[in-house]
Structure 1
Amino acid sequence: MDVVFLVINYMPHQLISIKEILTTEGVTVHSFSYKEPHTTPYRLKNLKTYRLKDLSRQQFLKKLMKINPELIVVAGWAVSDFVWVAKKVRKKLNIPIVSYSDTQWQGTIKQKINCLISPWHLKKAFSHIWAAGIYQYEYARKLGFAKPKIITNALSCDVQLFSEVSIKTKRKTYPKNFLFIGRFVPVKGLNLLIKAWNQISDKKGWTLTLVGDGPQKNKIYNLEDVILKNYMTQKEIREEFEQAGCFILPSIYEPWALVIHEAAVAGLPIIATNVCGAAPHFIITGYNGYKVQPSVEDIKTAMENIMALTTEQLLEFSKNSRKLSSSITPELGAAQLLSVIK
C-alpha cells in the first residue's frame, strides 16, 4: 500500500505520523516537501522523499499518478500547489485525500469567505479533514465537511520520547521551576507572563525559565529569578522537562501548541491560556493545572496557586497530566488516518 504525504517541511508531529504509518506492514510512504526540510527522515525504511522545487506542477501530478496511492495526506491548504494537485488527483483517482487542520474557527472575513467558496474549492480538493482537536472540528463543520468526513488526533507529540521523563525522581526534591518553551514573539504572551511574574512578591523559591529564540529575546534581561535559554532540540527539551516543576504557555493566540502535549506526556503540571487549541484536551483546571484567560491577573493567580501546592499535590497533578496525555497518541492518529481507506 502506498501513502503520500504532502508536507511544507518536516515538523515533529508529521515525522511521528509518518513513522507510525510505516509500522503498518506493507506500507510505503512517499513524502513531498515544499520547503527545504529542517529534518529529513531519509533513514526511515520504506520512506521515499521528494522535493517539490525539483518538479513542475505537471511533473508533480505525473509523479503522483505513477505512484497511484491509496491515500494522500496534505499539510493544509496554504500551499496552492497542494490544492491544485489534490483537485486534479480527485478527478482521476477515487481515493481519500485528507487535509491536516490546526486552524481554529475565529469568524474572520477570510474564514467566512473560505466557508462560502468551500464547495467549489476545498471540498473539490479534499475528501476528509484531519482535525487536531475540538476547536478545529468546529471550523471543519463550517467548511461543509460532514461529521463522518472529519477525523481527529492529527497532531501527536513523540509520546515515547517524552514519557521517558521520570515523575518519581521529583518526589525527593521537587523542582520549583516554571518553564516556558516557544518563540519570543508578542503572540506568545511573554509580556503577560513577565508582568505576572514581577507582580508576585513572594516567589517561594520558584524560578522561571524561558526557552526559545525570537525578536523579543533581546528585550528580556536582568529579571529576578528568570533564566534564559536558547532554542532546543526535542531531546534537549525532554531533559529540560526533567528540571521543571510546571509548564506555562501564556499565548494570546495559539492554533494548537504541540508543546502542551509534550509537557503532559512528561508529567508536568500545566498552566496555559484557554485560546490554545490543545488546552481543552490536556488541561483540566484543578486536576493537573489551570486553563486561564490571557491576562496578567489570571496568569499571576494560577502561578501562585501552583506555588501554594505541596509536593504531594504537585506530584498528583503530574500523574494526572500523564493520564490526560494518552487521549492523543501517534498510534491513535495513524489508526484514524488509515480508517478512511475503503
Structure 2
Amino acid sequence: MASPFRLTVVMTHPAQYFAPWFRFIARERPEIALTVLYGVRPTPEAQAEGFGRAFEWDEDLLAGYSSRVLSAQPSDTPLLAGQFSAVDAPSLDEVLPETAPDAVLVPGWHAAIYLRAMRLCRRLDVPAIYRGDSTFLSAPGGLARPFWGWHTRRRLHAYSAWLSVGTRSREYLAAFRVPEPMVFPSPHAVDNDRFAAAAAAHSEGARTAWRAARGLDPAAFVVLFAGKFTSAKRPVDVIEAVASLRNPRVQALFVGGGALEPSIRSAAAARNVTAAFAGFLNQREMPAAYAAADCLMLPSEHETWGLVVNEAMATGLPCVVSDQAGCAPDLVTAGETGEIVPRGRPDLLGAAIDPIRRRVAAGRGYEAACQARVAAFSYRQATDGLVAAM
C-alpha cells in the first residue's frame, strides 16, 4: 500500500470557511496526510474589524485535522481582505521542512507568510500548488494595470499546479497562460449538508417566531443581506431595491455589522422600508436567518467569490447578486437559482426581486434547483481537484 501523500497547507490564520474542508480531508481522504500551518490566530478584537464587535467563532477551527499556529501569541493584526500583507511567521523556515511535504498549497502572494512559503518551496525543491480566487474583476485600471499584469504573471508561474475555484478563476489563470493541463477544478464550497439540515430543522412556527422577535411580518417576503456593512458590499442598495417595489410586504433583514449601519438605518427610515437588524450571527446561528428569509441579496461593488451565496443556496434560498460577484456565472442562473444584476443598479435589484417573490408566493420555490446547483460545489469536488493536482 502506497504511503499517503504529504500535503502541507500554509494559511495566514484559521478561517471558518476552510476549517470544515480540512476536517473533511482528514476524515474522508486517507490518501492525503494533511498538515495546515497558520501564521497567526487572531484575537476576538482583530476579528471585530469590519463587523464592529469582538467575537470568537462558535466552533473550534483547529479541531479535527493536523494543524499548528506558528505565532505563540494571539494576533491583534486586523484581518480584513487586503490587509494580510504584514502577516508573517519566521518559524515557518524550520517548521515547514519538518512536515516533509510532497507538495505545499499556498493560496497566493498577498501576505508575507505566503512569500516566505514560496521561497521555501524553491529552496526545498518542493512543488507549490495555487488555490486562490482572484479574478479580473478586481484588477487595477490605468497605468497600474501593465505592472499588475507583469507581477501577477511572474507570481503565478512560480507554482507547479493550479486549482480553479470557479469560471472566473479559470479565465484568470488562462489569461496568464498557466499550463492548461495543470489547472484542476477545486470549487469554493461550504458544508452544504450541515446548512441544509440546520435550516430545515426550523419549523414554520420557529420561522414565524424568529421573524416576529425582530419586527418582521411573518407573511412578508424577506430579503436577506448577510455580511460586513462596508461600501464594497453596498448594503444600502438593498434598502433602495426594496423601496423601489413600493410594497410594504417586502421587507429587509440585515445580518452582520459595520460602519455603514447608521446609513442603512437612515435610508430605511427615509424610504419607509421595514428593515430588521439581527446583528452578528455566528456560524451555528446563521441557518435560522436563512430559514427566516425568502431570498439573499449580494449587491457588492466587487466580490472575489461570495461564499454567503453557497450557504444560502444550500438552504434552498434563491440569490440576487451583482454581476461583480465572482460566484455569479457558476451559481446563479436567471429564472432558476436567482438573478444577476449590474452593480450599482438598485432599481434593477428591485425588479429582480419581484418575479422571485411572485414565484415563491405561487408555491413554485427554488429550493430543489438551488440545492442541486450548489451540490456541485462541495468539499468532495474541491478535494477531488486537489488530489488530481498532487
**SS of the residue aligned with 1:321?**
helix
Structure 1: gaps (5+ residues): none
Question: 1:103 Cα deviation (Å)?
Answer: 1.1
Aligned-pair CA distance for 1:137: 1.4
SS at the partner of 2:359? coil
Letter in 2 for 1:99: Y
- Counterpart selection for 2:385 from 312, 316, 336: 336
CA shift in 2, pair 1:275/1:118, >3 Å: closer
Partner of 1:48: 67
Offset from partner CA, 1:113-156 (integer Å, 9 cap, x none): 243245644422x2222222111112222333111222223421
Counterparts in 2 of 1:7 and 1:163: CA distance versus 1, 3 Å? same
Look up the SS of the partner of 1:13 in the other structure.
coil
Q: Take 1:160 and 1:11, find their aligned partners in 2: how far apart are those partners?
A: 19
Return the TM-score normalized by structure 2.
Answer: 0.78
- The 1:330/1:339 distance shift into structure 2, 3 A limit, reads same
53-62 vs 184-193, which moves further:
53-62
- Superposition RMSD on alpha carbons, in Å? 2.8
Normalised by the length of structure 1, the TM-score is: 0.88
**Counterpart for residue 45 of structure 2:** none
- Contact 1:161–1:238 at 8 Å: present in 2 too? no
Structure 2 match to 1:195:
240
**Partner residue, 1:30:** 35
- 1: distance between equivalents of 2:240 and 2:314? 28
Query: Is 1:104 matched with 2:135?
Result: yes
SS state at 2:237 partner: helix
What's the offset of the Cα at 1:246? 1.1
Indicate the residue corresponding to 2:80 in structure 1: none
- Equivalent residue for 1:153, pick from 186, 206, 228: 186
Which residue matches 1:138? Answer: 171
| 1:258 and 2:302 matched | no
Task: Give the number of aligned pairs.
Answer: 336
Consecutive unaligned residues of structure 2, counting only runs of 5 or more, are 43-55, 74-86, 208-217
Partner of 1:66: 98
Matches within 5 A, 1:1-342: 1=4, 2-23=6-27, 24-25=29-30, 27-37=32-42, 41-44=61-64, 46-52=65-71, 59-95=91-127, 97-106=128-137, 107-108=139-140, 112-118=146-152, 120-124=154-158, 126-164=159-197, 165-166=199-200, 176-203=221-248, 205-221=249-265, 222=269, 223-294=272-343, 295-315=345-365, 317-341=366-390
Matches of 2:94 and 2:202, distance apart in 1: 54
> SS at the partner of 1:31?
strand
Distance 1:121 1:303, change over 3 A: closer
The question of whether the paired residues in 2 share the 8 Å contact of 1:77 and 1:83 is answered with: yes
SS at match of 2:136: coil
State the AA in 1 paired with 2:140: T
Query: How far does residue 88 in structure 1 lie from its aligned partner after superposition?
Result: 2.9
The answer as to whether partners of 1:6 and 1:32 remain within 8 angstroms in 2 is yes
Render the CA deviation track for 1:63-105: whole Å, top value 9, x for unaligned. Answer: 212211122112321013312332332342343x112211111
* Residue identity in the other structure for 2:61: P
Identity of aligned residues (%): 16
Q: CA deviation at 1:28?
A: 3.6
Q: 1:120 to 1:187 in 2, by over 3 A?
A: closer
Residue 326 of structure 2 aligns to a residue whose secondary structure is coil
Distance 2:193 2:103 in 1: 26
Q: 1:71 to 1:174 in 2, by over 3 A?
A: farther
Residues 298-307 or 80-89, more deviating: 80-89
1:192-223 deviation digits (Å, cap 9, x = unpaired): 221222222124x2321011111001223245
TM superposition shift of 1:313: 4.5
Q: Structure 2: how far apart are the matches of 1:117 and 1:312?
A: 52
CA distance in structure 2 between the partners assigned to 1:7 and 1:289 by the alignment: 33
**Distance of 2:146 and 2:378 partners within structure 1:** 32
